[in-house]
Chain A
Amino acid sequence: MLDSSADTSGTGIGKFLTKTTNWLLHTQEGVLFFIVAAIWLFLTIQSPVFFTGRNIGVLLSQVSMTAITAVGMTILLISGEIDASVGSMQAFVGVVVMSVLNSSSNLALGVLVGLAIGVVVGLINSLISLRLGINSLIATLAMLSIVRGAAFGFTEASIQNTHKIPTFTEIGNGFFLGVPWPIIFFFAVFLIFYFVLSRTTFGRFVHAVGANPEAATLAGIPVRLVKMAGFVLTSVLASFSAIILLSRLNSGQNGIGAGFELEAIGAVLLGGTSLSGGEGSMVGTFLAVLLLGTLKNGIVLLDINSSWQVAVTGLIIIIAVLLDARRRRRLGQD
């Protein structure tokens, strides 16, 4: 597509249009893009506040935590595994990092400890799933309980910010060139792993391992190593989300993040990534996260009872999966 030179620009544009139309009509990403665009248009008309830099900034900052975790989860799901423990990680990493910051007043140390917890939990997840051969859904559901227990074991009450490091507050609430830091983190993580997934050998390995582990093994791909990298990556990105969340809340709370795993996994699946592995889309995840965030934002802006947030999230997941199932059947019949 990109190499169509100036003299064939007519056919180039024609091709581009055909390709765009196909994308809109025949892919999960297209369906999601259409839904997001429709809701954005609707909200722009309904509320004067919606399409303002400030509100879009709030919207994207709010979804950045789910989004960053969902990026790792996308890669893990494509490789054919899953991590349900990311919700409890929000609490455990939060309480530990806050207490490290309080006792050391060293931001770098606190962040490093947080990410190190991600590495360790990711390694434990992969050890249980890959070495002991326990289905990763069950293994990480168990870890969801264990990590939550660890958070409550670490502290009985929430840990307040007593270190007053100004840079720490900036992570979740500051701006860089007018753009909130969480959005910059979110876009950076997304772009890096979009590139990793689509352009690198590792990305190809992830797809191959998820699509057919036996064939991948025969082809000489280190299946376990690739899956292990997926587990560690998801867990580390979940820790990163936890640090941003910690900065936004300004206190380490041991009960936070319940249901976070459902939101992250739900977004990835909504984005068209297959539960059985081998197939998935980073752009789809991005659009799905955006969709869920937009719904929550819209419900607040239109002054609708906030209880609707939960119900609408569920209904949208069902509708998106329904549309995807219909699309698959239509393509199957062609």
Chain B
Amino acid sequence: MAVLSKGSGGNSDAASRISRWLLTREAGLVILLLAVVVLFWILEPSTRQQRVYWDLLREISPNLIAAIGVTMLMLAGEFDLSIGSMLAVTSVTTVVVFNGTDNMWLGIIAGLATGPIVGGIHGYLVTRQKMNSLVTTLGSLFALRGMVYVYTNKTPIVDENGFYDFQDAYYNNLGPVPLPFVLAIILVVLALIVLTQTEFGRNIYAIGGNETAARVSGIKVNLIKFILFVICASSAAISGMILTMQTGTGYFDSGSSGFELIVIAGVVLGGIALSGGKGSLVGTLLGILILGMTAKGLRLMGVNTNMQLMVTGSIMILAVFMHSFHDRISIFRNR
């Protein structure tokens, strides 16, 4: 993450810094993002309006917020596949409490509280019971979705009070910027500070890099992982809240069409290694933007939703290949 030099070493220094930055993962992703934008600019005239991009930022906010938690968890070498089902848990809980108490704030608090509860259970099962996180959260993907189905009997729950402030929050702007995206960026910046400037953040990378070494050097691996599971489920709960604002209903199938896969695809596209310990949140932001822009561009071109899947899949393979190619180049350069 080199920043342009502030004139300290003259032109050659700035030039070398720029050339070094061009070899980072992030530079590759920025170029890919620009390429996607330019491609759609040429192919589809409707993407030439500014409004399209503000809409895009509004739409990707839930994905981006969930991706923050997934990124932090994956950096420590763990997974959470249940985030799609979490959206429905939060959505249904929020609206049920709305209707039960006629109080908007109680509903929001109850909805958001589902995050730490589910995350705490995951954290307990993985760190105390030593269960594999991929399979455990695959189980809770089904368990949570099933419980929502049972509770709602597969009918959407309508907000009887019609809390307009709640629904407006999704569609309102701060200046030109959509409110959900403002929230997403605040959370990204907070997480970025935690990851890069605090001991907690450095410990996350240490655990993902080599868990045994981290444990031996006195890092509280289990405690940190527990906290990360709570953060991940909580960020999914915030995403679920935003999607509930968008529709104003508690929807049992919220996030059921592969939300977890799209978010993980964005995270991996952003360069987070599946084995943990490598990658940055800036990469995740770019990864989510690239997938979001691609999907939106194709949608505006009238391409079948499911054909969009094909393009998303291809981009994923391309990006992971790009990252592994980049790794090989950096090994070569460091020799």
Contact = CB atoms under 8 A, between A and B. Distances in A.
Interface of A: 128, 132-135, 137-139, 141-146, 148-153, 156, 254, 258, 262, 265-266, 269-270, 275, 305, 307-318, 321-322, 325-326, 328-329
B317 A308 contact: no
Contact of B309 (A132, A145, A309): A145
B136 A318 contact: yes
A318 B140 contact: yes
A135 to B, nearest CB: 5
Contacts of B149: 307, 310-311
Interface string B156-196: 00000000000000000000000000000000000000000
Nearest to A319: B139
Given A146-B309, A307-B150, A322-B125, A314 B317 contact: no
Contacts of B145: 310-311, 314
Interface stretch (B25-33, B63-71, B126-134): B126-134
Given A149-B311, A325-B129, A328-B130, A314 B261 contact: no
Interface string B131-148: 110111011111111110
Nearest to B130: A325
Nearest to A84: B261
B307 A153 contact: yes
B310 A146 contact: yes
B317 A139 contact: yes
Nearest to B318: A142
B304 A275 contact: no
Contacts of B14: none
B317 A134 contact: yes
B138 A317 contact: yes
A316 B136 CA distance: 10
A316 to B, nearest CB: 8
Contacts of B142: 262, 266, 310-311, 313-315, 317
B153 A307 contact: yes
Interface string B291-317: 000000000000010111111111011
B125 A310 contact: no
B45 to A, nearest CB: 25
Contact of A132 (B304, B313, B321): B321
Contacts of B313: 141-146, 149
B270 to A, nearest CB: 12
B268 interface: yes
Interface of B: 125, 129-132, 134-136, 138-147, 149-150, 153-154, 257, 261, 264-265, 268, 274, 304, 306-314, 316-317, 320-321, 324
A138 B320 contact: yes
B324 A134 contact: yes
Contacts of B310: 145-146, 148-150, 153
Contacts of B144: 314
A318 to B, nearest CB: 4
28 contacts: A134-B324, A138-B274, A139-B317, A142-B314, A142-B316, A142-B317, A145-B261, A145-B310, A146-B313, A149-B306, A149-B313, A153-B304, A153-B306, A153-B307, A262-B141, A270-B135, A275-B132, A307-B154, A308-B150, A311-B143, A311-B149, A313-B143, A315-B139, A316-B139, A317-B142, A318-B131, A318-B136, A322-B131
B309 A318 contact: no
A126 to B, nearest CB: 13
B274 A312 contact: no
Instruction: Name, among A145, A312, A318, A329, the residue most crowded by chain B CB atoms within 10 Å (CB to CB).
Output: A145
Contacts of B146: 307-315
A324 to B, nearest CB: 8
Nearest to B315: A142
A107 B76 CA distance: 51
Contact of B153 (A266, A270, A305, A309): A305
Contacts of A149: 306-311, 313
Contacts of B311: 149
- Sorted nearest first, the 3 A-B pairs with minimum C-beta distance are A311-B146, A149-B310, A314-B142
Instruction: Name, among B141, B311, B312, the residue most crowded by chain A CB atoms within 10 Å (CB to CB).
Output: B141
Contacts of B320: 134-135, 138-139
Contacts of A269: 132, 135, 138
A152 B304 contact: yes
A140 to B, nearest CB: 10
